[in-house]
Structure 1
Amino acid sequence: MKGRLVLTWLLIVGVAAASVKSDYYSDSVPHEPKREKETHLHFFIHDIITGKNPTALKVAQANLTGIDTNPTGPTPFGSTFVVDDPLTTGPDPTSEVIGNAQGAYVSSSQGKDVVLVLYLDFGFTTGKFNGSSISVFSRNPITEPERELAVVGGRGKFRMARGFAKLKTYSVNPTLGNAVVEYHVTVLHY
């Protein structure tokens, strides 16, 4: 009995003497939520699929027989293109280049209207957004005068981006498929 009493007493003293750290640890404490920013961007994209220096190349095309896919058009149904288009401050190809749109698009409409499903990452190479990018992934009915794409992400200063891009075709050569498209982008980010 005396042994149990001594053991109990040693346990009580040992527990009481042990230093206990009860502070919660976190890299984000104290938590101060970041304020979401809204940024408006305006630029032009130059999509050139013909000529000496194309910025969009067809890498695949459906081999369908008996289906009218308008195989003579610049973007027949089922065609897949990879893109490295310059982003400029103005519609003229000699305007200041501020970045590149890199990604891919697929011609996804069997109808008369040309619809592209596209993924593009707009990487900025100058100014306060140098090294940052925004990503869009959306359906683009290019025969409509104005359309909207979803901004689904970003990196750098556009981390956790979401928003939308309003597009308007500035100029297009329907025979060659070359186009200049004006973008007005609203991005919410941290």
Structure 2
Amino acid sequence: MTLGPMTLDIHTQHRPTTPFSTAEPAISMAKVLQKSSSLFFIVISFFISFVIFSVTGENSGFVKAIDRKTLGLRKEKLSHFRVYWHDIVSGRSPTSVPVTQPSLNSSTAFGLMNMIDNPLTEGPELSSKMVGRAQGFYASASQEEVGLIMAMNFAFIEGKYNGSTITVLGRNSVFNKMREMPVIGGSGLFRFARGYVHARTHTVDLKSGDATVKYDCYVMHY
């Protein structure tokens, strides 16, 4: 009769206890969740900062990001216009004059530079309506072929474009049927302009050296 309780006490003393073994996984899981939450908030904070930076831009010292609307810039549009460029090197009032002479032994007039104030007209005849002037210079920049570097502003005087300009800067291989040069900027109604021009020789007077070139201009602007 006395062995029963003793046996029961012995079994009770050796029964495995579980509080410690169940608490340890719970503590580990809490640590994992805490680390995951911290990483999540770090990623979200970085993403929000990146979005804000992308939208507002960086303001640092003398540089400040602004909204294009403050400059009155609306939807961008593409314009095409055609003008005739008259390079007049002869006569009493040439519009294209040499400012440097070419190398003596050059077959391509390498080194020659002309300053220009050439008329831009609506039609191929010099007597047709003038819409502006091409002001700048061209220079022979190739020793292998007649290749010019063109740096000029098309300064318009007609209608609402009076006072506005586009700037052309590029290479002109004059014996090619069609030459393409970039439009790198502009002013007035052509602010932030970009695009290209196609130049095609219309006429050349071999005796006087005068030439007329057709320019088709394709310009993106506001």
Please state if 1:95 is matched with 2:128.
Answer: yes
Structure 1 stretches of at least 4 aligned residues deviating more than 6 Å after TM superposition: 29-33
Pairwise CA RMSD? 2.4
Please state if 1:69 is matched with 2:106.
Answer: yes
Taking the aligned partners of 1:39 and 1:125, their CA distance within structure 2 comes to 17
2:75 matched residue in structure 1? 35
Please state if 1:110 is matched with 2:143.
Answer: yes
Q: 1:139 aligns with which of 124, 146, 171?
A: 171
- AA aligned opposite 1:76: A
CA contact (8 A) 2:103 2:110 kept: no
Q: Larger % of helix: which? A: 2
Q: Which moved more, 1:166-175 or 1:131-140?
A: 166-175
After superposition, the Cα gap between the structure-2 partners of 1:189 and 1:48, relative to the gap in structure 1 and judged at 3 Å, is same
Which structure exhibits the higher relative contact order, with contacts defined as CA atoms closer than 8 Å and separated by 6 or more residues? 1
Taking the aligned partners of 1:84 and 1:54, their CA distance within structure 2 comes to 9
Q: Tell me the SS of whatever aligns to 2:183.
A: strand
Taking the aligned partners of 2:90 and 2:181, their CA distance within structure 1 comes to 25
- AA aligned opposite 1:128: K
Taking the aligned partners of 1:175 and 1:152, their CA distance within structure 2 comes to 34
Please state if 1:130 is matched with 2:170.
Answer: no
State the 1:173 CA deviation: 2.0
1:24-74 deviation digits (Å, cap 9, x = unpaired): xx974988973111111111010011222111000012455xxx313xxxx
Taking the aligned partners of 1:30 and 1:179, their CA distance within structure 2 comes to 43
CA contact (8 A) 2:103 2:109 kept: no
After superposition, the Cα gap between the structure-2 partners of 1:33 and 1:50, relative to the gap in structure 1 and judged at 3 Å, is closer
After superposition, the Cα gap between the structure-2 partners of 1:88 and 1:35, relative to the gap in structure 1 and judged at 3 Å, is same
Please state if 1:82 is matched with 2:119.
Answer: no
TM-score normalised according to structure 1 size: 0.76
Please state if 1:161 is matched with 2:201.
Answer: no
After superposition, the Cα gap between the structure-2 partners of 1:69 and 1:130, relative to the gap in structure 1 and judged at 3 Å, is same
Identity, in percent, stands at 40
State the 1:175 CA deviation: 4.4
Q: How many residues align?
A: 158
- AA aligned opposite 1:41: F
1:174 matched residue in structure 2? 206
TM-score normalised according to structure 2 size: 0.66
Taking the aligned partners of 2:89 and 2:181, their CA distance within structure 1 comes to 21
After superposition, the Cα gap between the structure-2 partners of 1:30 and 1:159, relative to the gap in structure 1 and judged at 3 Å, is closer
- AA aligned opposite 1:141: S
- AA aligned opposite 2:120: L
1:131-177 deviation digits (Å, cap 9, x = unpaired): 10100000000111111110000000000100000111000123432
Task: Show structure 2 runs of 5+ residues with no match.
Answer: 1-64
Task: Show structure 1 runs of 5+ residues with no match.
Answer: 1-25
